[in-house]
Structure 1
Amino acid sequence: MQIVTNVGGPHTGTGTAPQPERSSGNGLTFGVEEEFLLVDVVSRRTVPRAADVLARLAAPGHGMTGISFHAELLGTQVEATTGICTDTATLRRELRDARMRLAAAAGAEELRIVASGTPVLPGPPPPVTANLRFIRIAEMYAGVTADYQACGCHVHVGVDDRETSVAVVNHLRPWLPTLLALSVNSPFDHGVDSGYGSWRAIDQSRFPSSGVPPWFPSAAAYDAQMARLIDCGVLVDSCMTVWLARPSSRLPTVEVRAADAAATVDEAVLQAALVRGLVRTALSELAAGREAPPVDGPICAAAMWSAARHGLGGPGVHPLLERPLPATRLLAELLRRVRPALEDTGDLAEVRRLLAGMAIRGSGAARQRRAAAGGVRAVVDMLVEQTVCGEGGARDP
């Protein structure tokens, strides 16, 4: 896979999410929610022990300002949330510390944490977490949620108001498939290679209001659509949409949920820096009076499918030009678009470094497939190592 790192030239939940507002500096504040799977130290299969791990993290002496941990829909999953960050160095530190704390708590229970969009090995469907809202979700969606152990990397970026947030999401729509393509890290489905880079994205597509969100002319139109979907009985509440970008229903943020669970801290930082760059670019476009084009919904769906299938290693679909292009060309276009924003926030060199590393190592999905040469259990072993230590066993810088 060849990733273009020269970005010169003309110009993608119920826990307590990070709550950024506008930064007083050149950037926008941001935070990240990361979802992880818990696996047994012996079998390497997922186990529903989230309550035990979270109880250890809630014990006296385990608190840490900004970082928090939460249950997810199924008992095999846990979520770690950073605090409000203004720069990538702080974000990196909080992501690393959260993973290390979570890994230590899991280790005390003879478990390991895994950053993968889906479980590698098959196992029985896990129980739903004992939470009234989660139970309602499981009852509504039945078999869709029975083994829905999907894990993502969600980035929140501070935006002042909902009207602006909806307009920003309109601008993000064409780029959500490329954010997914960059992040693919879930090739396995019940122990078998699915042929996709992101089986999580395919799994998620079975829900109503999934994929790239529609284009909305206003916050009122967005809210009216949400109310209609709830009235139609296909959403539990306004937090239930699984669109890949949305204005938060609880916070002054835009939330982008395009990415698979980031295999390493580096990849989580890369996703967050690019999302913040896209949001900042959208705000600049809006300030200049340029609304987002209403990109065709079926074309967006085609772009999402192609990104899930191939990652950056094959063809993609350009949502604006409505024609196929190599996925790496789409990434290069995204980078050209956000270059001014990355320069303003001081993230350009970091993004270049991280992309260069990915060009050498390959995507999370590619690394899982390489590890599978030693058997499917070897994939889990590799994931356990890189979740906390990063690629190659060295702790993330």
Structure 2
Amino acid sequence: MRTSGQITGVRLAQTPSAQELRSRFERHSAFTVGVEEELLVCDPETLDLAPLAGELLRRLPQDRAFKGEMPAAQLELASPVAATVGEACAALLAARHEAADAAGGDAVLAAAGAHPFASGIGQLESGERYDAIQEEFAGVARRQLCFGLHVHVAVPGADRALAVFNALREHLPLLAALGANAPFYEGRDTGLASVRPKMCDLLPRQGVPPAVPSWEALADELAWGARSGVMADAAQWWWEARLHPRLGTVEVRVPDAQPTIGDAAALAAVVHCLVAWLAARADAGDLGEPAAGWRIGENRWSACRHGVTGRFADVRDGSARPTADVVRELLVDLAPFARDLGCSGELARAHHLVDHPPHERLRLAARDGGPRAAAAWLVRRFLTAD
């Protein structure tokens, strides 16, 4: 008998113990980085979403660079583990070209947080995992036409990684604001910088992640999720940042997918440097207690509504300033770490995202031709490096 709130039809994976989690985060010796992006697969004539990701995957090499996801019109690209953001994103640009070649005349590709005019209800892939999610989440699952940019950073030392994750939570709205790239939904301007967070919120375990006081606590949470049946495995710990239980990385999942690899590289550089900066502060004992989730959530809303043109509240004293000013100050703090990590050029481009926010550029592209013109602009930008 099926119990409400349970993912059924799949075998629940054994969850890792605290010792296993710790060992996965202890194995790193450098701040390596990996980048993943979720792409829109579109019809070449109408530019609407086209459920052809499975067909493209059959044409592409069977390796970790290309992956399928639950929406049938979504193709995921993943870089190899890299020493620098430049190296990771060069691999992604090559993968974009390879995917576009595989599409031929049957599809075109683009990147944004959401499609500008497609129906909000889409076709999903089948398979044991996805069928179970559809069974539990019903029509909500078909509304998960969300496209994100995910950045993994390895942090040498398990306890250091835990401290970095807890401190990172309060910075997530700044990353969301900087990468907000989805103002349109179902052919209308939503008035938001990005509608994607609200689409994601239809599912559980979204938004600002809870603080993690210890590895034992994280192991207990993952085990509870499995025992209760609400998660088939730890991969369904779907927050905007997480301690990846299998890869042993700090994973940031909050930015929207970006029109160009140059924009994606800028955001990845901010994440890479931010993690290294927080690690240095952890070593110096300079990180305070984790901030309250609801306070971070208020900044998350500002990022969703206004992007970098909004206001950002200090999560401790409540003072509020323009988000753009806070981001610019953060970029100055991160610059020395960019030199060490070999991504000064990519980090410098983040200033361009502050001055020319992705959501404003997309609105400008739609000024004369509406959301369809915005989709055409995204397709044209897909293979450009900058």
Normalising by the smaller structure, the TM-score range is 0.7 to 0.9
What residue is the counterpart of 1:311 in the other structure?
307
Report how many residues are paired: 361
TM-score, normalised on structure 2? 0.87
What residue is the counterpart of 1:365 in the other structure?
359
Deviations 1:87-132 (A, max 9, x none): 23312311210111111112x2521111011111133733321221
Counterpart of 2:302, as a letter, is S
Does residue 377 in structure 1 map to residue 360 in structure 2? Answer: no
Deviations 1:310-338 (A, max 9, x none): 00112233323334321112212322442
Contact 1:178/1:307, CA 8 A, preserved across alignment: yes
Does residue 267 in structure 1 map to residue 263 in structure 2? Answer: yes
State the alpha-carbon separation in 2 of the partners of residues 30 and 83 from structure 1. 8
What residue is the counterpart of 1:71 in the other structure?
68
Gap regions ≥5 residues in structure 1:
1-18, 390-394
What residue is the counterpart of 1:99 in the other structure?
96
Counterpart of 2:79, as a letter, is T
Counterpart of 2:149, as a letter, is C
Does residue 386 in structure 1 map to residue 364 in structure 2? Answer: no
Q: Secondary structure at the match of 2:122?
A: coil
Change (3 A) 1:94 1:320: farther
State the alpha-carbon separation in 2 of the partners of residues 247 and 90 from structure 1. 23
State the alpha-carbon separation in 2 of the partners of residues 220 and 190 from structure 1. 43
Contact 1:174/1:320, CA 8 A, preserved across alignment: no
What residue is the counterpart of 2:201 in the other structure?
205
Deviations 1:218-255 (A, max 9, x none): 11112212333444444332111221111112112111
Contact 2:32/2:154, CA 8 A, preserved across alignment: yes
Deviations 1:257-293 (A, max 9, x none): 1100112111111111111111112221222234442
Does residue 127 in structure 1 map to residue 148 in structure 2? Answer: no
Deviations 1:179-206 (A, max 9, x none): 0000001111111111111111111122
- Which is worse superposed, 73-82 or 134-143? 134-143
What residue is the counterpart of 1:178 in the other structure?
174
Counterpart of 1:239, as a letter, is A
Q: Secondary structure at the match of 2:234?
A: coil
1:141 Cα deviation after fit = 1.7
Counterpart of 1:273, as a letter, is A
Where in structure 2 are the equivalents of 1:1-397 lying within 5 Å? 22=28, 28-58=31-61, 68-106=65-103, 108-123=104-119, 125-160=121-156, 162-352=158-348, 354-359=349-354, 362-373=356-367, 374-389=369-384, 395-396=385-386
Q: CA RMSD in A?
A: 2.2
Contact 1:116/1:261, CA 8 A, preserved across alignment: yes
State the alpha-carbon separation in 1 of the partners of residues 120 and 316 from structure 2. 42
Contact 1:23/1:86, CA 8 A, preserved across alignment: no
TM-score, normalised on structure 1? 0.85
State the alpha-carbon separation in 1 of the partners of residues 204 and 361 from structure 2. 31
Contact 1:44/1:121, CA 8 A, preserved across alignment: no
State the alpha-carbon separation in 2 of the partners of residues 220 and 236 from structure 1. 20
Contact 1:38/1:111, CA 8 A, preserved across alignment: yes
1:55 Cα deviation after fit = 0.7
1:357 Cα deviation after fit = 3.2
State the alpha-carbon separation in 1 of the partners of residues 221 and 128 from structure 2. 25
State the alpha-carbon separation in 1 of the partners of residues 29 and 92 from structure 2. 20
Change (3 A) 1:229 1:301: farther
- Which is worse superposed, 375-384 or 331-340? 331-340
Deviations 1:50-107 (A, max 9, x none): 1111111137xxx7xxx6100001111010000111123312311210111111112x
State the alpha-carbon separation in 2 of the partners of residues 327 and 105 from structure 1. 40
- Which is worse superposed, 327-336 or 301-310? 327-336
Q: Secondary structure at the match of 1:126?
A: coil
State the alpha-carbon separation in 2 of the partners of residues 272 and 343 from structure 1. 15
Counterpart of 2:214, as a letter, is S
Q: Secondary structure at the match of 1:175?
A: helix
Change (3 A) 1:338 1:359: closer
Change (3 A) 1:333 1:235: farther
Gap regions ≥5 residues in structure 2:
1-23
What residue is the counterpart of 2:16 in the other structure?
none
